[in-house]
Structure 1
Amino acid sequence: MVQASKMMWDRAVGDADCCDLIHPWTPGCVSGATTMFWSSFKGSCKFYAVLYVIQLLIRGKKMNKKFLLQQFDSYLKSAAFGCLVGTSFVPFNCFFKRFLFQRFYYHTTVLFPMTLSGVGIYFEPPHRRYLVVSTFFNLVLEYWVRMLEHQGIVKRTPLRETIIFMFGSAYLFYLMRQQKDKNKKMSLLWFFTPPKVNRQPIESTSDKCDKSSLYCPHTGSCSDYIIKGYIQMFGLGCAMTMLRTVVPKLGTPVKAIKSITAKHFTLGLFLGGYMGIYRLVVCILCRQFKRDSARHAIPAGFLAGTAFWFNPNLSVSLASITSILHILCSRLYEHKILPENLPLPELLYALCQGLLFHARVMHPEQCPRYILNLVHTVTSGKVTLVYETFLKMLAIADFNK
C-alpha cells in the first residue's frame, strides 16, 4: 500500500475534478451522491446486522419480545448512522471543491468532511453511543502507536504489550470495583465487569459450604466459580475465532476441519486464563484476609494480565487505557468538574472518525484493520474504489514527472 504525503497528494489530485476522484463511477455529483447513499444503506444494514447478531449471541441470556424490539430499534438507528457517515463523503467533498476550496487539499478531502459527518453519532442510541466513542478512541490510539513505530520512535514487542496490559488491567479492575451501587453501569470496552465488592459475608444455605468462601464476591464454592468462568470465556474465545476463520470455509467441510490449528485456540486460552486467574486471585485474597476489597483487584488484574501472552494484540492492550480514561472522565462529570451540557464524547468521536478515515486513505498500512474492513463494508467498496483511483492518478503523475 502507498502512503500519501502532502506533496504527493497535491501533485497527483490537487487540481482534479470531483468526478475523477470522489465519484469515479459516474460524472455527475448528484448521481454520485445517490449511488453512495444506496451503497452505504446496503453496507450499513449488512455490517450492523452481523454486529447485533454477534452481540445477542454473546449475551446468551433469555430474550423476551420487548428486548428484541428494543434491539431492532437500536439496529435501525445504528444503520441510519452508518448510512449518513458513508453517504456524506461524496456531497461534502463536491460542495467544498466547488464552493469553498476550489481544489482538493490534503487535510480537507477526507479529514475535514468526515469529522463534520461525525455528528451522526447522535443517531446511535445513548446506551451504545459511549461504547462507539470508546471503540474509535481506542482505534486512534492504535493508529498513533503504529505511526510512531513506522517512524522508528517506538518498538513493539509481545513482552512490552503484555506488561502494558498487566498494569492497565490492574488499575482498570480497581476502578471498576470502586464503583458505588448508585452509579449506573457504564458501557466499557472490556471483556467482563467484575462483581461489586462484597461488603457483608454472603449467606449460604448449604452446611457443606466452605465458610471462608463467604467473604468472596460470589455464591457457591470458589472452585465452581473459577472453573465456570474459565470455561465460559474459553468457549467464547474459541467460538469467536471459529466464526471468523473456519465458518467461511464450511463449503468444504474436510478442508475446514483440517484448517483448525493450535492458533485457533489462543484467543480462548487468553480469555479463559484471564477470567480464571482473576477469579482465583480474588478468592485467595478474600479467604486470606476474611473480607473483600476493591484493592484485591490490583494484584488479581495484574496477574490475570499474564494470559495476554497467549494472544498479543495491540488493540486489546490499549483497550485498558481507553476504559480507564472513560471511567475517569465519567467521574469528572459526576463531580461537576465538567459541565453536563458539554458534549465532550460526541466531539471526541467526530475528531476520531475524521482521523481514522484520513488514515484509511493517506496511511493505509498504519490504519487499524478494523477501520479498513468497516469502511469497505459500510460503503460497499466505494471508498476502496476511491483509494484505488487515487493510486492510478498518483502513478500517472509520477509517469508524467
Structure 2
Amino acid sequence: MALFSKPITVHNTCYEIGHCWSPYCVQASFDVSKIVFQEAFKLYGSLYLLAAILRKKGKSYYLKKLLPETLQSSFFLTVNGTLFLSFFCLWRKLAGCYYYYNTFICGIPACAVSLLIERKDRRGLLAVYLTNLALETAYRMAKFRGLIKPVVHGEVLLFSIASAVYFYLFRRESSLPQSTISGLQYIVGSAECPRSATSPGRSSNNNEEPERSRSRTGLAVLDKMVARLEASPRHGMCQHRGGCVLYVLKGCYRLFGMGYSIQAGVKLLSSLSRLHKQPRLLFDALFNKDNFRLGAFLGSFSGLFRLVNCVLRWVRNRDSSFHGLLSGFVAGWSMLWYKSSTIALYTATKMAEMLYFKGIDAGYLPYIKCADVLIYSVSTAVAFHAAVLEPHTLRPAYWKFLIRVTHEKFRHMNRRLLDVFGVQSSLMFPDDWPNYDPRFTNITPPS
C-alpha cells in the first residue's frame, strides 16, 4: 500500500483537492472562518447555557462569564479549522505537491496554536476526548487494511478492565480525587466507599433512600414485598440499609430509570424541530429501544457491582479493596447491553491519565510541560488526516460534527484525486466531482 511503498505524490492544486468551492486560498479560509464561528457559537452557547442551568450557576455567571467563555471556545474551534485549511494551502505552495502524510503534518501546528486560545481548564478534557478518538481511528484504519482482526466484545473487555482499576482504587482510601469518588458514588452508591471517604457525621449510605420514609401508595402487596426485602439477611460488614437483595435491586432500578430518561431526553431534543409535522416522533423518542439499552446497561452495572460485593462479603467474611477490582470487572460486562467503543475508550484514557498523574505524584514518572497541547495536537491531526484521506475510518459521530461545522465543505473535497494513495479515499463518495471554474483548472473526472 501507499504508506509502505515508495512515496506517491499528488501534484493537483489546493483548489482542485481541498477548497473546491473557491479558487482563492484567502477567500476559502475566510469562508471557513465565518461558517465555523457561526456553528461553534451556536454549539458552545447551547452547551454552556445548559451546563450553567444544571449546575445552578448564579446571576453573575450569566452576566459576566457565559458570553466570554462561549466566545473563547468559539474562537478556538474557528482558528483550528481555519489554520488547518491555511496550512493545507501553504504546504502546496512550499512543497509543490501532496504526500500521504501531509494532512497529518499540517494538522499538528494548526491544532497546537488553536488550543492555546481555549481555556486551560478545558484543554485536558479535549486532549482526553481526542486521544480516544485518535485511538479508535487508528484501530479502524488497521482493521480496514486487514492488519488486525477485531476482538469479540473487545470494547466491553476494555471497559471492564478500566472499571476494575477504577473501583479497586475507589475501595482504597484516598486513592482517587474527590470529584471522581463522588461520580462513582452516584453510580454504585456510597455504601461501597471506604468509611473515611464519607462526610463526618453522615451515614455512609447517604444516597440510600429509606423505604420506610416513603409515602405509601396503598398497594399492600408491594408494601409487604418491600418489607420482606428490607428484613432479608444483611452481612455484618455491609454498610447499606436493609437486606442485601433489596440493596442490589435498588441499584438496578435507580440507574435503569436514569439511563432510560437520559436517552429518551436526547432522542426527544433531537426531534423537537420535526415534532409539529410528525407527532409520532414523540412516541418514537420516548419508547426507543436505545432507551431501554442504556437503562439496562447502567442498571445492571450498578446491580452487578453491588451483588458481587455483597456475595464476596458473605463468602470471604471480610471486606477489602480487592472486592472493588473483581466487582468492577464483572459489572463492566453490563456494556453488552449498550456496546460503545466511545465510552470504553474514554474510560480507558481517563484511567491512563489518572494513573499517569499518580505516577508523577509518586515520583515514578516525569512531568511533561504542555502535555495536553501536544496530545491534543497529535490526536486531532490523526482525526483530520482520516477525515481527508480515509473518512470511512472516522467515527461517524465525529464525521457528522465536521460536516455540520463546515456546512459540508469538508464533505466536498475531491477525494477521487487522492485514491492514488491506495486507501480508497473516495469510498464514501465514489461519484462526487466538484463543479470547477474552467478559468482555474481543466481537470476532468478519471475514467
Q: Which amino acid aligns with 1:150?
A: F
1:385 partner SS: coil
- For structure 1, the 5+ residue unaligned runs are none
How much has 1:142 moved relative to structure 2?
A: 1.2
Aligned to 1:33: 29
Q: Which amino acid aligns with 1:253?
A: P
Deviates more, 1:241-250 or 1:303-312: 241-250
2:150 partner SS: coil
Change (3 A) 1:356 1:216: farther
Aligned to 1:49: 45
Change (3 A) 1:88 1:358: same
Aligned to 1:112: 105
Q: Which amino acid aligns with 2:446?
A: D
Structure 1 residue 121 corresponds to structure 2 residue 115 = yes
2:393 partner SS: coil
Q: Is the 8 A contact 1:162 1:312 kept in 2?
A: yes
Distance in structure 1 (CA, Å) of the matches to 2:77 and 2:290: 33
Distance in structure 1 (CA, Å) of the matches to 2:162 and 2:307: 19
Distance in structure 2 (CA, Å) of the matches to 1:298 and 1:285: 12
- For structure 2, the 5+ residue unaligned runs are 213-229, 418-425, 427-431, 435-442
How much has 1:126 moved relative to structure 2?
A: 2.8
Distance in structure 2 (CA, Å) of the matches to 1:393 and 1:167: 46
Change (3 A) 1:386 1:72: same
Equivalent position to 1:238, from 254, 260, 272: 260
Structure 1 residue 199 corresponds to structure 2 residue 199 = no
How much has 1:31 moved relative to structure 2?
A: 1.4
Q: Which has the larger radius of gyration?
A: 2
Q: Is the 8 A contact 1:148 1:154 kept in 2?
A: yes
Q: How does 1:280-319 map to 2 (within 5 A)?
A: 280-282=307-309, 293-319=320-346
Aligned to 1:269: 296
Q: Which amino acid aligns with 1:332?
A: G
Distance in structure 1 (CA, Å) of the matches to 2:445 and 2:29: 27
Aligned to 1:82: 77
Q: Is the 8 A contact 1:5 1:362 kept in 2?
A: no
Aligned to 1:254: 280
Deviates more, 1:300-309 or 1:179-188: 179-188
How much has 1:279 moved relative to structure 2?
A: 3.7
2:322 partner SS: helix
Distance in structure 2 (CA, Å) of the matches to 1:228 and 1:253: 35
Q: Which amino acid aligns with 1:250?
A: L
Aligned to 2:166: 172
TM-score by length of 1: 0.79
Equivalent position to 2:361, from 314, 318, 334: 334
TM-score by length of 2: 0.72
How much has 1:169 moved relative to structure 2?
A: 1.6
Q: Deviations over 1:227-252 (max 9, x none)?
A: 66545543443344334545425231
Change (3 A) 1:39 1:320: same
Aligned to 2:383: 356
1:384 partner SS: coil
Distance in structure 1 (CA, Å) of the matches to 2:255 and 2:356: 29
Q: Deviations over 1:273-329 (max 9, x none)?
A: 223322444456568878764333212211211211111122223333212211111
Distance in structure 2 (CA, Å) of the matches to 1:79 and 1:241: 27
Aligned to 2:224: none
2:195 partner SS: coil
1:103 partner SS: coil
2:411 partner SS: helix
By percentage of residues, which structure has more helix? Answer: 1
Q: Is the 8 A contact 2:134 2:379 kept in 1?
A: yes
